[in-house]
Amino acid sequence: MSKQAKTAITPTREENYPEWYQQVVRAAELAENSDVRGCMVIKPWGCALWENIRTALDGLFKATGHVNAYFPLFIPKSYLEKEAEHVEGFAKECAVVTHHRLEEGPDGGLVPAGELDEPLVVRPTSETIIGATYAKWVQSYRDLPILINQWANVVRWEMRTRLFLRTTEFLWQEGHTVHETKEEAWEETVKMLEVYKQFAEEWMAMPVLTGEKTAGERFPGAVNTLCIEALMQDCKALQAGTSHFLGQNFAQASGIKFQSREGREEIAWTTSWGVSTRLIGAMIMTHADDDGMVMPPRLAPSHVVILPIIRKDADQEKIIQYCNETAAMLRAQSYAGRSVEVVVDDRDINAGEKGWQWIKKGIPLRLEIGPRDMENGAVYAARRDLGPKEKYTQDRMEFVSTIATVLEEMQNNLFEKARAFRAEHTREINSWDEFTAFFKEGCGGFVLAHWDGTEETEQKINDELSVTIRCIPFDYEKSGTGQCVVTGKPSRGRVIFAKNY
């Protein structure tokens, strides 16, 4: 680092938040833009993070009775058209396959050939293609429920993209379930939202609010969309996961019918729910600082990096051996359901630069090990949640035996810090003046305010302040009745407003 720069990331959050975000992603080597419009390359450190997210979520899905399956990438155009609102929502931004080969054109270059009878859409989401399969699987109430999840890539042709937050292709999971009754489907919708909340808070260390979307913000074709909403460090909200109660809309469109216990033919009830690589963007904007990424220990690709400090060639072999021994001891420990993961970084590059690379990657713990540490049976440690220069010497055995405790403490600290930030930027507001000032003059945040329940008012707030209703909390009536912050009309409870991603 040059002397001018006091932080590893330039600009800082305060100087230019969107640019800071891009620089954190770059410096942490999480992902980069590809030459293909809006598609990203997820680099090894980002991919390992996604794999940890996947493993943890998959465990939660299995614990709630779900199994995985895999459905086709392509959706025939006619399938998408089956549900009117759904096609309306996705037709404007989908990759369309029209040909099945390339052949030499008149000027020598290759041109598309073999036109398809019916264009195929690269799945933007899979309700319609999965629904067509479920229609074949379901005959009787005995075939229900179907509780299936899919890990897949999807494509939505976004005009303005940003790494992880909004990309043309992204990775996600999509759960698709079928039920006998409305009540069971609703219970599933709520249960999966709870799973997302649990994952966000316990694994990502990211506090979330939960509730229902307003009609205008629903998934196209859904009866009801539930969501988890988190507050980023620039005081804008980010929708991190959604769980949709689809009623009988998609079952009707796809023909998912069954013979009921009473022998009648009935239309099934379905749900769908998903989270994506966007979660990585959420994690960055919740925890990263002006020195780069900060990984929540439970999901960190590696927990500890060991940096051998070799001042004389004669020490090299012994120090490397001591480092490898330390790594082996740490790997024998376990934390959050896996072995403690350790990198011994013995690359022959400048030690300071090397340390900063790992700070920017957000690894929870760094150990510098030189001749004196070795002689003393010690390690010289640094925690990513403390300042880059706050380091401490610790007995090696003690460091090893307390590693899981320290990691969990760091995990909890990150959660508490994010919770405090959210509390600081959440306010109950009762007047339009105060509402306007909150979003125009300050950095913003979550506002709990009364709303008259109309789309007109929702639209007016959005037009004037670019502020939207993030969700209607499940228990919103507990906040008491009041008057709409815009129109003064009666309101049954407070809803959550914020600017958003």
Residues that bind its own copies (CB under 8 A): 32, 34-36, 39-44, 47-48, 50-51, 67-77, 79-81, 87, 91-103, 109-112, 114, 119-122, 129, 132-133, 148, 152-153, 155, 157, 169, 171
Q: Are 141 and 263 in contact (CB under 8 A)?
A: no
The rounded distance, in Å, linking the Cα atoms of 32 and 35 is: 10
Query: Residue 122 or residue 374: which is nearer to its own copies going by CB?
Result: 122
The minimum distance between CB 477 and its own copies, in angstroms, equals 40
Min. distance of Cβ 369 from its own copies in angstroms?
Answer: 23
47 contact partners, CB below 8 Å, separation of at least 6: none
The answer to whether 374 touches 314, Cβ cutoff 8 Å, is no
Min CB(118)–its own copies separation in Å: 10
Shortest Å distance, C-beta 404 to its own copies:
21
Q: Are 228 and 207 in contact (CB under 8 A)?
A: no
| Residue closer to its own copies, measured from CB, 48 or 465 | 48
For its own copies, which is the closer residue by CB, 226 or 307? 307
* Cβ proximity to its own copies, 112 vs 216, nearer residue: 112
Scan for tokens 């090299």, then name that residue.
Answer: 316
Q: How far is the CB of 257 from its own copies (least distance, A)?
A: 17
Q: Shortest distance, CB of residue 224 to its own copies, whole angstroms?
A: 26
How many of the other CB atoms lie within 10 Å of CB of 140? 12
> Given its phi and psi angles, is residue 221 left (phi above 0), alpha (psi -120 to 50 degrees) or beta?
left
Which distant-in-sequence residues (6+ apart) come within 8 Å of 247 by Cβ? Answer: 182, 185, 222, 223, 224, 269, 270
Show the DSSP H helices in 332-475 as ranges: 351-361, 371-375, 396-401, 403-424, 432-440, 455-465
Q: How far is the CB of 438 from its own copies (least distance, A)?
A: 38
Contact 360, 291 (CB under 8 A): yes
Sign of the CA dihedral running 250, 156, 203, 398: positive
Cβ at position 148, least distance to its own copies in Å: 7
Closest distance of CB 179 from its own copies, Å: 17
Of 67 and 332, nearer to its own copies (C-beta) is 67
How many whole angstroms separate alpha carbon 91 and alpha carbon 320?
58
Between 252 and 302, CB nearer to its own copies: 302
Q: How far is the CB of 37 from its own copies (least distance, A)?
A: 8
Amino acid of residue 316: Q
Distance, CA of 438 to CA of 416 (rounded, Å): 24
> Closer to its own copies at the Cβ: 94 or 407?
94
Residues 272/341, Cβ–Cβ less than 8 Å: no
Tokens of 275: 């989270």
Minimum gap (Å) between residue 331 Cβ and its own copies: 13
Q: Give the residue with the Cβ less far from its own copies, 131 or 445.
A: 131
Q: Three-state DSSP class for 65?
A: coil
| DSSP annotation string for 174-187 | EEEEEESSHHHHHH
Question: Which residues lie below 8 Å from residue 20, measured CB to CB, with a gap of 6+?
Answer: 9, 11, 12, 13, 290
Please identify, using beta-carbon distances, which residue of 44 and 480 lies nearer to its own copies: 44
Report CA-CA distances (Å) from 454 to 229, 451, 469, 485: 22, 8, 11, 12
Name the residue with tokens 């007109």: 456
If the CB atoms of residues 97 and 465 are measured against its own copies, the closer one turns out to be 97
